[in-house]
Structure 1
């Protein structure tokens, strides 16, 4: 697997791959925040929880914003691990009767964020070592 990934890096170049991974991180990050806010607003409309429910769901992602803006590989690696929590939450939401679509979208966004963050951390770290 490692040899295949290194051949892929040589074929396409680290700069291009890093740009594409960064785009994936941004798309996954924004879509996950939008989905979490939407899910929190649905809870708010049913009077199940207050505004704190939205804040608790979105705050862990907001804390990684400086790492995303400054393009730090270590911050992206940690963001990938945190995105797995949202993957688990999405799986649990997908089991609810009328919320399967929201859960599946959250799972897809979390997987995109995980994959793109890990690849960005790898490729950006390799670029910084050159």
Structure 2
């Protein structure tokens, strides 16, 4: 694995782990506007982030690519909370930064590692 690819993987992994931890801490301990059960928090907020865990840890470029769809949920959530709940704006900004770091790291890692492994979409045949 090339140096740039390795750095992008670490960006994706660190952002992923920190986002998972931050969402759990925020929703279980720091929120003041509503109170959910621990099971609900794990299912709704942490559950989707646990789906790509194995592929993220094993450096699978396909998993990194589709994990971006999950990351968009947290980006949208952060933007919505930052706009609608002024009391939790700082928490939302942290979520936005972590989700953006994960999105960037996953996207670029999937691209660079896919090229290294010779993966990619096949070009369509040209019609005469």
Aligned length: 117
- What is the CA–CA distance in structure 2 between the aligned matches of 1:60 and 1:117, rounded to whole Å? 16
Which piece of structure 1 moves more, 46-55 or 89-98? 46-55
Whether contact under 8 Å (2:13, 2:57) holds in the other structure is no
Q: Which secondary structure state, in structure 1, belongs to the residue aligned with residue 2 of structure 2?
A: helix
Runs of 4+ in 1 over 3 A off after TM superposition: 42-47
From 2, 8, 15, the equivalent of 2:2 is 15
Greater share of residues in helix? 1
Question: By how many angstroms is 1:113 displaced?
Answer: 0.4
Structure 1 partner of 2:23: 36
- 1:53 Cα deviation (Å)? 2.9
The answer to whether the 8 A contact 1:80-1:117 is kept is yes
Q: Deviations over 1:89-109 (max 9, x none)?
A: 001121202100000000010
Which segments of 5 or more consecutive residues in structure 1 lack a partner in the other structure?
A: 1-13
Q: Which residue of 2 aligns with 1:90?
A: 78
Asked if 1:64 corresponds to 2:55, the answer is: no
Residue 71 of structure 1 aligns to a residue whose secondary structure is coil
Gaps of 5+ in 2: 120-128
CA RMSD of aligned residues (A): 2.0
Deviates more, 1:43-52 or 1:68-77: 43-52
Correspondences of 1:91-130 after superposition (within 5 Å): 91-95=79-83, 96-129=85-118
DSSP 3-state at the match of 1:23: helix
Distance in 1 of aligned mates of 2:41 and 2:79: 18
TM-score (ref. length: structure 1): 0.82
Asked if 2 retains the 8 angstrom alpha-carbon contact of 1:44 and 1:50, the reply is no
